[in-house]
Amino acid sequence: MTAEPVIDTQGVPTTEPAPVTVRASLSPSRAADFKTCPLLYRFRSIDRLPERPTVEQARGTLVHAVLERLFDLPAAARTPESAGDLVAPQWDRLVTEEPELAALFADGDTAGVEGFLRSAAGLLEGYFAVEDPRRLEPAEREALISAVVDDELLIRGYLDRLDVAPDGALRVVDYKTGGAPREAFEARALFQLKFYALVLWRTRGVVPRVLRLLYLKDAEVCDYAPDAEELVRFERTVVALWRAIEQATARQDFRPRPSRLCDWCSHQALCPTFGGTPPPFPVAAAAPDPLVDARSRPATPGADE
């Protein structure tokens, strides 16, 4: 594979970053929230309403943790058995770090926890059906990447895995563990991957050769090959999205946009679509810290990110 040429937003080849004054930041999750439903963005990023983790989200976090640790092992040891052996210790670690996860199961519900761990192991079987980790040496895992676009907007997010071929070609890999209907989330997943592709292109001067979604439940691979022109357009989309967020914040006007994704939304009780009333707009949001973009990870309603 060969590296793509580097082209700036005007179509001019460049590798030199311009001096910038960062004024705001945006993660793919939050950008996708606004695209999905402006009110959902408000609830998550401005009101910062808590969302109790679901079993499905916890399973996704656990499987991501196991897959990350799996690549700490020597290549020959990355077997399904080794991955299975990592499940319980990684769950223990996650519960220690995030005690609210323990509340997903009633005290003494050993059978519930065991069933949960088995279901995570089942997703790992899906992983091994589509990839052989003994043949891979990822360049990065769970890496925070960022770039400045439009001279003032910092875009950043965590990618699950980045593979780099000997010729420098990049492959961005994202694990999808959610049980929600895939078609409901595929556009959002692709948006997220293009976001990473844009960051990598802007920071490394290489358009990723492949954006890969690994659907572990279905044991399926979905590959997408972006190109530079598409990423230029995508960059304009991201900047326009940010401007729309700024305008909505200034007007305190975030409208609900009902869709199939409402079924996975934690905030139906406060949503006018479901007869609810949003809380008063937070005063502090009128003068937000522009570099605070709430949580950059996770979450999609009902799906892992």
Residues that bind ligand SF4 (CB under 6 A): 37, 39-40, 256-258, 261-262, 265, 267-268, 271, 273-274
Q: H-helix or E-strand containing 56?
A: helix 55-70
Q: Are 90 and 65 in contact (CB under 8 A)?
A: yes
Q: Which is nearer to ligand SF4, 205 or 278 (CB)?
A: 278
Closest to ligand SF4 by CB, 82 vs 273, is 273
User: Cis omega before residue 38 (within 30°)?
Assistant: no
Q: In the bound complex, what is the minimum distance in angstroms from residue 241's beta carbon to ligand SF4?
A: 16
Please give the backbone phi and psi of residue 171, each rounded to the nearest 5 degrees, phi first: -130, 120
- Rounded (5°) CA angle 245-246-249: 85
Short-list 238, 232, 152, 147, CA closest to 192? 238
| Shortest separation between residue 221's beta carbon and ligand SF4, angstroms | 29
Shortest Cβ 200–ligand SF4 spacing (Å): 30
CB-nearer residue toward ligand SF4: 233 or 295 = 295
Minimum separation from the CB atom of position 281 to ligand SF4 (A): 15
For ligand SF4, the closer of residues 36 and 61 by Cβ is 36
Beta bridge partners of 156: 146
Q: Which is nearer to ligand SF4, 35 or 64 (CB)?
A: 35
**Start-to-end C-alpha separation, the chain:** 28
- Cβ at position 107, least distance to ligand SF4 in Å: 31
What is the token pair recorded at 131?
Answer: 């990839």
Residue with tokens 């010729």: 167
